[in-house]
Amino acid sequence: MGPIGENEFFFLMQGLRWTVLLAIVGFIGGGIFGILIALLRTSKTKVARTITAGYIGVFQGTPLLMQLFVVYYGVALVGVEVNAWIAVAIAFTLHASAFLGEIWRGAIEAVPKGQTEAANALGLHYVSRMKDVILPQALKISMPATIGFLVQLIKGTSLAAIVGFIELTRAGQIISNQTYRPLLVFGIVGAIYFIICWPLSHAGSGLEKRMAKAAR
Amino acid sequence: MTYTFDFGAVLDRAPELLWGSLGTLGLALAGMLLALVIGILGVVARTSKSEITRTPVIVFVEVVRNTPFLVQIFFIYFALPLIGIRLNPTVTAIFALGINGGAYAIEIIRGGVESVSRGQIEAGFALGLHKADVFRLIVLKPALRAIYPSLTSQFIMLTLTTSVCTSIAAYELTSAAQRIESDTFRSFEVYFTVTAIYLVISTLMMGLFALISRHYFNYPTR
């Protein structure tokens, strides 16, 4: 058994950096595409609705790990020589866009119909109606679920370890193999995830409770 | 660069994929059952009056829900032998899936139990219903109906999560895929095919759950 010293801890922190970066990139990228998906999913065009429904269905009906593998090896086939980091980031972006798109579709539909009608009566066109009237309200409604998904995404980045990407969990695996102290190492790794995720979960459920109270 | 797809190399291994799929279904089913048991016991402890039983359940739920399944399964995989329990990877995986799913089930079931209002129970007794009937018709069935959508989508999530069990070499579809990949080097084709299989599995499960719901919960609420 080897000791868990400064070097090991530093290695974990380096892994943590990639975990955080991956989650941020996935969330922002997924957020941008997710809004697009949500808008298409709620649009008047049937084709757009069907295609986005299929897109969401595929990502919600298959394991994240498989999505990682397919994108990882798929990107290489397209011919572009990309490094693992970009391939994994693309996979998380696609994954997040489907889930956030579905969450925000629900939120858009939860905004009272009268708001759309009022916006139409005021003569607002589609862009202004969405940007100034519907989306701000939908965003507020979706907040608890969005935060909930962010937590899921942060936990999900651990699967990049199976593809071989060195983030927090993979760093933990490597150190565990070196020091033969799996329980201590994975205990620390788990604690780090908990320290990040728990406040977010807490904020999300707090928000949900407050909103439920306000709605009553 | 041109790449020629060769799904034939994957289809040659169809029997392995079939067995892997059955392994996945078995893992998922056993995991769900364990999750349900943990969920029900957890709710009993969570809603009890004693703090000594409540607090551990709250801590358990928070810890499991805020750490990745992959870390949990590694932890369990290495922790069990230390307390003298030696299980094969597949049984360990069931254990991990049950613990993970159980934490979510506790929260879902608790919501359902709390959704049944006291007035309805009192109304049941006022109508002269037997205690067992009150429980079965007024508490259990509406509570089941209330939690059914979230519980079943959690079960589908659990089924998809079984793929992570490949990391401890449990017997299921993803580990079968990894074996085929390392033999054929047809990475994209293998994972594409297996992803499609997962999609079929989850779609069938959704259909089955919807069917059960339509038969069992087919009564008006107002």
Would B63 be classed as within a structural domain? yes
Would B221 be classed as within a structural domain? no
Among the listed residues B195, B156, B167, B200, the one whose alpha carbon sits nearest the alpha carbon of residue B31? B156
pLDDT tens-place string over residues A22-74: 999 999 999 999 999 999 999 999 999 999 999 999 999 999 999 999 999 99
Nearest CA in chain B to A160: B70
Q: Which residues of B touch A186 (CB under 8 A)?
A: 71, 74-75, 78
Would B23 be classed as within a structural domain? yes
Would B56 be classed as within a structural domain? yes
Would B84 be classed as within a structural domain? yes
In terms of residue numbers, what domain contains B70? 18-216
Rounded to 10 degrees, the C-alpha dihedral B183/B188/B191/B192 comes to -140
Would B190 be classed as within a structural domain? yes
Question: Which residues contact residue A53 at a Cβ distance below 8 angstroms, ignoring those fewer than 6 apart?
Answer: A41
CATH number at residue B145: 1.10.3720.10
pLDDT tens-place string over residues A102-141: 999 999 999 999 999 999 999 999 999 999 999 999 999 9
Residuewise pLDDT in 10s, chain B (222 residues)? 567 888 888 888 899 999 999 999 999 999 999 999 999 999 989 888 888 999 999 999 999 999 999 999 999 999 888 888 888 999 999 999 999 999 999 999 998 888 888 888 899 999 999 888 888 888 888 888 889 999 999 999 999 999 999 999 999 999 999 999 999 988 999 999 999 999 999 999 999 999 999 988 887 766
Q: Which residues of A touch B82 (CB under 8 A)?
A: 183
CB pairs under 8 A between A and B: 109
A181: left (phi > 0), else alpha (psi -120 to 50), else beta?
beta
Nearest CA in chain A to B196: A62
pLDDT bracket for residue A200 (50, 70, 90): very high
ipTM for the predicted complex comes to 0.92
**A7-215 maps to which CATH number?**
1.10.3720.10
Average of per-residue pLDDT across A4-13: 89
Question: Which residues contact residue B94 at a Cβ distance below 8 angstroms, ignoring those fewer than 6 apart?
Answer: B27, B30, B31, B34
Residue with tokens 């009993």: B44
**Number of structural domains, chain B?**
1
Would B8 be classed as within a structural domain? no
Is the CB of residue A30 less than 8 Å from the CB of residue A91? Answer: no
Q: Determine how many CB atoms are found less than 10 A away from the CB of residue A125.
A: 9
Q: Which residues of A touch B58 (CB under 8 A)?
A: none
